């Protein structure tokens, strides 16, 4: 048995589905079901006895302690987080509460649980913390990619909250001996991603005939990682990662945001053609405050130590992603609720835009 937090969100749900599809042991899935936590992501597991879903908060110490006592998991895989930079700018309090306070509470619950295990159980137990490359800050065009020894230098409330959680996880290992693993991943994309993030937002807006809002000049660089590859990397960490170590997980796919949008438009022109190219809908809008210019991941450590390397190229992963959204328009329409529309209006309505 493993305990997964945030397993109804984008990466967490992909991990749970992939884990069980590959014959992994049963999963207790704890998710608060905020706006980005979607039970429909797990609909295929409704009658699967290997999946136990619990709606709850990682900050609810009695609930987490009871789940640990009842199910006796051999690992905690911690996805639960507020994760959208723009939302963190508008409302940082939720990010502090979930990403810092929630992680602290979960670490304390895990520490108490570890003390109840016998020696073999303690030796086998792992706390896998899923983090982000954004904790490292921003790179200049000629800078070397982030390595595991790159100092944390977060620039957004979201990144700062995740950096703080990284530090807590590290401290609980060095001070209390909690057998932790940390994975700092680059920008994930793929099925089930909530359409506030770049790729699903662009797909949804393109199909609806709406503007495709690109921040600033669109030349911000990100490394792109297909979510299925990320799940494979996390399985490697659970199987063979060294407790106390951090592993960068990247796709070896540095792309500007504008390149991503152009590639998306070309795929949609091919797969869902209209009278005009979707590129005609691109609109440059006012940049977000403090927008990091470049992220890049050096993922050589996990490859050399554990043998993991992404299976998907950006082109193959993006094609799979676009096709999934085209095939699941009912899912997209359902998650585009009133709250979603209110957020989109709040974040983009005041940004001056011009088509290109």
The closest of 256, 259, 254 to 298, measured between CA atoms, is 254
Q: Which of 82, 133, 292, 312 is catalytic?
A: 133
Residue 333 sits at the vertex; the CA angle it makes with 313 and 271, to the nearest 5 degrees, is: 40
| Strand, coil or helix: 313 | coil
The closest of 113, 181, 125, 122 to 1, measured between CA atoms, is 125
**Distance, CA of 155 to CA of 108 (rounded, Å):** 27
Q: Residue 158 catalytic? A: yes
**Distance, CA of 203 to CA of 272 (rounded, Å):** 11
Q: Which of 57, 134, 196, 229 is catalytic?
A: 134
Q: Which of 31, 57, 136, 158 is catalytic?
A: 158
**Distance, CA of 117 to CA of 243 (rounded, Å):** 17
* Strand order across the 27-31 sheet: 51-55, 27-31, 2-5, 75-78, 126-132, 180-185, 246-249
**Distance, CA of 62 to CA of 24 (rounded, Å):** 27
Q: Residue 60 catalytic? A: no
Catalytic center residues = 133-134, 158
């Amino acid at each position: 048995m493993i305990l997964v937090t945030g397993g109804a969100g984008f990466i967490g749900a992909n991990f749970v589905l992939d884990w069980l599809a590959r014959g992994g042991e049963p999963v207790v899935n704890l998710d608060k079901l905020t706006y980005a936590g979607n039970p429909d992501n797990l609909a295929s597991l409704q009658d699967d006895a290997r999946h136990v879903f619990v709606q709850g908060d990682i900050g609810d110490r009695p609930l987490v302690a009871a789940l640990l006592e009842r199910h006796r998991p051999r690992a905690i895989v911690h996805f639960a987080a507020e994760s959208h930079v723009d939302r963190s700018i508008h409302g940082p309090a939720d990010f502090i509460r979930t990403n810092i306070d929630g992680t602290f509470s979960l670490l304390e619950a895990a520490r108490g649980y570890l003390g109840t295990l016998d020696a073999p159980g303690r030796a086998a137990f792992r706390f896998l913390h899923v983090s982000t490359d954004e904790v490292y800050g921003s790179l200049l065009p000629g800078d070397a990619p982030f390595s595991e020894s790159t100092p944390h230098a977060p620039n957004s409330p979201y990144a700062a909250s995740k950096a703080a959680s990284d530090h807590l996880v590290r401290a609980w290992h060095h001070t209390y001996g909690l057998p932790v693993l940390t994975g700092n991943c680059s920008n994930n994309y793929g099925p089930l991603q909530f359409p506030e993030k770049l790729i699903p937002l662009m797909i949804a807006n393109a199909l609806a005939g709406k503007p495709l809002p690109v921040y600033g000049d669109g030349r911000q660089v990100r490394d792109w990682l297909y979510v299925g590859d990320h799940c494979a990397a996390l399985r490697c960490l659970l199987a063979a990662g060294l407790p106390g170590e951090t592993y960068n997980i990247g796709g070896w796919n540095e792309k500007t945001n504008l390149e991503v949008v152009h590639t998306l438009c070309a795929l949609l022109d091919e797969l869902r053609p209209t009278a005009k190219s979707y590129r005609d809908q691109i609109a440059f809008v006012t940049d977000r405050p403090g927008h990091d210019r470049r992220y890049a991941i050096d993922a050589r450590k996990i490859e050399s130590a554990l043998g993991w390397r992404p299976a998907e190229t950006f082109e193959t992963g993006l094609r799979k992603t676009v096709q999934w959204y085209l095939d699941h328009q009912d899912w997209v329409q359902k998650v585009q609720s009133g709250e979603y529309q209110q957020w989109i209006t709040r974040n983009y309505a005041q940004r001056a835009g011009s088509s290109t």
